[in-house]
Amino acid sequence: MFEFLKLYAKLSVKPSKDIGLTSYVFPSETIGLYLHVPFCRHFCDFCPYHKLKYDAVLAREYVDLVRREYLLHGRKQFNSLYIGGGTPSGDLEVLKDLLSFLHENVSGEIALEVHPLDASVEKL
């Protein structure tokens, strides 16, 4: 499924009691969030970042997993949100779904990487 999550999944080999992971992950009240959306319709030769060929089903599943992870950590308030990738501007419905549950908890700037082919007046 999401190849880059395999290492993350291997870190926990058995269930454990709560060790305060949430406070470790979010050590202060001023938090900027970078969200990597790994899907691309086209692969750019210069791009070194993790990416997957765009798949609508996987993109929807990814949004659902991000939502679940976000709720797991207690709906934190962020002072900024940066969405990069991949090409997060490639599917506006997926982007709307992401922003629908994140934007209300961002008190400052929200920035989004946009592929030039997605930068039409209608989409912006």
Q: How many domains does the chain have?
A: 1
If you average pLDDT over residues 10-35, what whole number do you get?
Answer: 63
Q: Is residue 21 part of a domain?
A: no
Q: Is residue 85 part of a domain?
A: yes
Q: Is residue 64 part of a domain?
A: yes
Q: Is residue 14 part of a domain?
A: no
Domain boundaries, position 86: 32-118
- The tens digit of pLDDT for each residue in 61-98 reads 988 888 888 888 776 788 999 988 887 777 778 888 88
Q: Is residue 16 part of a domain?
A: no
Q: Alpha helices, DSSP H only, in the chain?
A: 6-10, 21-25, 56-72, 92-102
pLDDT level of residue 7 (50, 70, 90 thresholds): very low
Rounded-to-integer distance, Cα 19 and Cα 111, Å: 33
Q: Is residue 17 part of a domain?
A: no
Q: Is residue 50 part of a domain?
A: yes
Q: Is residue 10 part of a domain?
A: no
- Asked if residue 37 lies in contact with residue 62, where contact means CB atoms within 8 angstroms, the answer is yes
Lowest mean pLDDT of 1-15, 22-36, 74-88, name the range.
1-15
Is 60 exceeded by the pLDDT of residue 21?
no
